Amino acid sequence: MNNKDFKRLTDSVHQMKAIQRGESPAGRVTMRRGRRPAVETELARIRASIGFSQEAFASRLETPLKTYQGWEQGRPTPPVALVAARLVKETASK
């Protein structure tokens, strides 16, 4: 195992322990080489950061729950959904 892979593995173990201790929210992070985290990961992160359930967040976005759940699971996401999610986050933190 090379150093880069070993570091990724140890980072994952540290993250897992933080989740078990309740210091970090559980969630899936999908990284694409050379790109930002996937849109579905960003949506879930924003939603979790303001403490909304999927149902409450979908309601704020005026989106059917099943559609929103699909977005978080990686189904095609319209770019406007991410912009709307960021706006919801902004208004919820005020």
Tell me the CATH number of domain 36-94, given options 1.10.1740.10, 3.30.70.270, 2.30.110.10, 1.10.260.40. Answer: 1.10.260.40
pTM for this model (two decimals)? 0.50
All structural domains of the chain with their residue ranges: 1-30, 36-94
CA distance 36 to 79: 14
Q: What is the pLDDT of residue 53?
A: 93
Q: What is the pLDDT of residue 94?
A: 63
In tens digits, the chain (94 residues) has pLDDT values of 677 777 777 777 777 777 777 777 766 655 555 545 566 778 888 888 889 999 998 888 778 999 888 888 877 777 777 767 777 777 776 6
Q: What is the pLDDT of residue 31?
A: 52
CA distance 71 to 19: 23
CA distance 44 to 7: 25
